[in-house]
Amino acid sequence: MQSITRLIELMKTLRDPERGCPWDRDQTARSILPHTLEEAYELADAIERGDAPGQCEELGDLLFHVVFYCQIASEARAFEFDDVVERVVEKLHRRHPHVFGDAKIETAAEQSLAWERLKAGERRAKGEGILGDLPGSLPAMRRALKMQERAARAGFDWDRPEPVLEKLEEEIAELREARRAGSDPGMLEDEIGDILFAAVNCARHLGVDPELALRRSNEKFSRRFTRVESELTARGKTPEQSTLEEMEQIWQDAKRDDPP
């Protein structure tokens, strides 16, 4: 506890009206939120790269943000750091009755189901629906996945992947039809949204995390396009100075040398 006390005291000093840092004093919970999200993504990147020192550093940055929010709340007499700790400890005790109580759960799968049942009970107690507590600020792909998972647990789901793939193909056909009909940008946006939502559902049915899949494809595209740029540079060209056919040929070479 001495380490966290040092961090809390450091944060108080940074926010001190007289001897603190002007930038830290000016911040609000809303103003530091984008930085918190950025730190979370930097942690995700370090984890995916297997960078243990990087993970340690990014976790420290995230912990600092937790303390930052708590200090801002403390100044407003809303809550303290200890209140945050007590609340999460109480919740974890409540959601792990097989560890801290008499319930019997043998596998991780059983625990996941029990966890969701407990959360569903908490939502009902608050008068919330199945999707009620999913924040709108979640990344759109993650929110789509969460909504689909919860609807599936309520029985609103296909029982196999084939109808999901058919639905994806149906949505793509609707986009093609909207283009042929000269639909306005709003309609095209709606159709593309339906395709993305169906693609997330397809990934879920196939046991693939869509966020990780897209991140992997992003990295793959980055590697291959960097190869295109490098090859063109060796030829004394930029992408803007070359033809699509020339870039496509390099791309295919890069694809062959960089299998999925």
Residue type, 136: G
Q: Residues with Cβ < 8 Å from 89, sequence gap 6 or more? A: none
**Do the domain assignments include residue 119?**
no
Split into its structural domains, the chain has a count of 3
- The reply to whether 15 falls in a domain is yes
CATH number at residue 187: 1.10.287.1080
Q: Which residue has the tokens 């009970």?
A: 121
- Give pLDDT tens digits for 87-136: 999 999 988 888 888 888 888 888 888 877 888 888 888 888 888 888 88
Locus of tokens 């007499």: 77
Say whether pTM exceeds 0.85: no
pLDDT at 208 > cutoff 70: yes
Kindly state whether residues 146 and 78 are assigned to the same domain: no
